[in-house]
Structure 1
């Protein structure tokens, strides 16, 4: 999620049962990642509802760098093995990821049965298998009319591929670097990001094979920026606790929902990814939610990853059904959003309970 991990709190018990003695939960960051996930749902329902929402991924990558550095940076320095780190990451991400793949597969089968999609059985089979293990589908190079994207079974899964890749880079290399060296990595990545952003005319790249080359600088800059933020500001007390914390939340939603003229698109995208996304994360650290909003912010953050990874398949089935019954416009979106949130929350809760039962010691 990217930093959409459910229930993140740097002061709670982590995956290995080790207490992380840092600042209490970052409620503003919880709220922001939830709002960003909702904007992604909006753009996949109707692009005009949030035409810049693909930039939410750049925000997620910054947030991911911050969170991973907060939770695992010191533990890796103290000897946490690479295998232990990756096991913890996959254990946290994979159950919902796999459900997202299954939901996407069911969606494609239904749409094919309804005569709304047409692709070869081999494309569907191979893409399902490789997407199911976090790998992009090679069928783009093997079919005359392949399914769209590197992860055609569940579109949002593409960011999980880059997320795990940069997690590997972090565990093998980035966590060892000084702040100065991290800034150097960020600057080089930013230069490459500017190049690919200007080349493609936007940053909606890295999710399909023709623009796959743009995925690496996109994730490397944002994730590294998040690590730098952690090194500089992680664990610091908030400057202010109160309703002013709504400001960075609103700023994020405005930035990723704003319509932008085509001529300004590459410059806007690059400004957001290289400057605004890191700034908004820092504002989320400095401006904390009031006590009255903590439970709400926690819940919004909790559903962010489930909503993000599960919504695409739901939308694929919902849109033709809504069209058949005459449901459209904003009302259709609110019905969809309610369905997605409910499905995501129930699924996440059932998974949590199942995993808790599996890890509960036998009497």
Structure 2
């Protein structure tokens, strides 16, 4: 499901009309992250795993590909600038690169009149990693200690704030830029906490059923994040998905197991999901003007792009894995 959601994010960044609700994939990612982190680290933290060890493990998992995504985004900006397709000040580029490399939002929105767009202009998808690491810190310092009842209270309060910001901004495509940054915290806090609750309630529960029925939550997720929605209904649709459907889809994914014939493909798609998500934006930035110059547009252009970015993401992830394994062997 995570891999399919990442593909939809690629689609919306290529042409928004291909997946106009794909920004909701991030809410799904946060729920899934809460479930996985609680499942892997909840007991370990309760048994005395140091906070520093937890964060070191999270950064080791996320940062190498994150940094490559920043470098790819920087190359994209330099190329497009040289081609005369965009312009930004050198100060903006240098400051944004320096802060984004350390998973910090660029402050240039407050320092100049026309800054690059977003809190993470060097690589747009990196904004969600900022909130992900922030909520990981909150989990390791506080959330893992809470009972299910207390976690539900946190989720309820977060949901109330999420409803407020969703109605205020008219959608949940918020938290990635400074004008809507206030919406990022309730967005991640509700979804991540919901994932922790799911882990507490269903940890160790065997799958109810194994078979092709496990594709049902995948299809439901795809339909939800691809669907076009009238503007007047947008805030309500987004809130229903984030508060109700995303946790439900994660729970169904936990209780339904893929058939043996699909396990290999499912694991591979899951494997490329994070590299695909964090690396695709810079590739699209260079691909689109090149493809347009040779008339490669529409669905055909997207399929070529998708093939290229999937190959790039997979090969990069494999190289990172090999480098990590080599360093582990040397340390041993």
Q: TM-score range by the shorter chain?
A: over 0.9
Q: Kindly state the Cα deviation for residue 358 of structure 1 after the two structures are TM-superposed.
A: 1.2
After superposition, give the CA deviation of every residue in 1:134-176 in whole Å (9 maximum; x if it has no partner). 0000001111110000000000000000000000000000000
Pairing partner for 1:291 from 260, 266, 279: 260
Q: Counterparts in 2 of 1:136-147, with a 5 A limit?
A: 136-147=105-116
Give distance in 2, aligned partners of 1:326 and 1:143. 37
Residue 257 (1) aligns with residue 215 (2): no
Q: 1:159: which partner in 2?
A: 128
Q: 1:210: which partner in 2?
A: 179
Q: Counterparts in 2 of 1:156-235, with a 5 A limit?
A: 156-235=125-204
Give distance in 1, aligned partners of 2:186 and 2:201. 22
Pairing partner for 1:51 from 20, 44, 65: 20
Pairing partner for 2:235 from 253, 262, 266: 266
Question: So what's the TM-score if we normalise by structure 1?
Answer: 0.91
Change (3 A) 1:362 1:96: closer
Listed as ranges, the gaps of 5+ residues in structure 2 are: none
Residue 329 (1) aligns with residue 306 (2): no
Q: Give the 4+ runs in structure 1 shifted more than 4 A.
A: none
Residue 305 (1) aligns with residue 274 (2): yes
More helix by share: 2
Q: 1:11: which partner in 2?
A: none
Give distance in 1, aligned partners of 2:186 and 2:321. 34
Q: Kindly state the Cα deviation for residue 362 of structure 1 after the two structures are TM-superposed.
A: 7.4
Q: 2:83: which partner in 1?
A: 114
Give distance in 2, aligned partners of 1:295 and 1:360. 27
Pairing partner for 2:319 from 350, 353, 360: 350
After superposition, give the CA deviation of every residue in 1:91-135 in whole Å (9 maximum; x if it has no partner). 110000000000000000000000000000000000001000000
Give distance in 2, aligned partners of 1:119 and 1:258. 34
After superposition, give the CA deviation of every residue in 1:312-339 in whole Å (9 maximum; x if it has no partner). 0000000000011111010000000000
Give distance in 2, aligned partners of 1:298 and 1:71. 18
Q: 1:29: which partner in 2?
A: none
Give distance in 2, aligned partners of 1:344 and 1:204. 25
Q: Kindly state the Cα deviation for residue 235 of structure 1 after the two structures are TM-superposed.
A: 2.0
Q: 1:102: which partner in 2?
A: 71
Listed as ranges, the gaps of 5+ residues in structure 1 are: 1-31
Aligned length: 332
Give distance in 1, aligned partners of 2:283 and 2:203. 37
Give distance in 1, aligned partners of 2:65 and 2:7. 17
Residue 314 (1) aligns with residue 283 (2): yes
Give the superposed CA RMSD: 0.8
Higher alpha-carbon deviation: 201-210 or 229-238? 229-238
Q: 1:85: which partner in 2?
A: 54
Give distance in 1, aligned partners of 2:66 and 2:185. 21
Give distance in 2, aligned partners of 1:321 and 1:183. 49
Residue 65 (1) aligns with residue 45 (2): no
Q: 1:8: which partner in 2?
A: none
Q: Kindly state the Cα deviation for residue 354 of structure 1 after the two structures are TM-superposed.
A: 1.1
SS of equivalent residue, structure 1 residue 360: helix
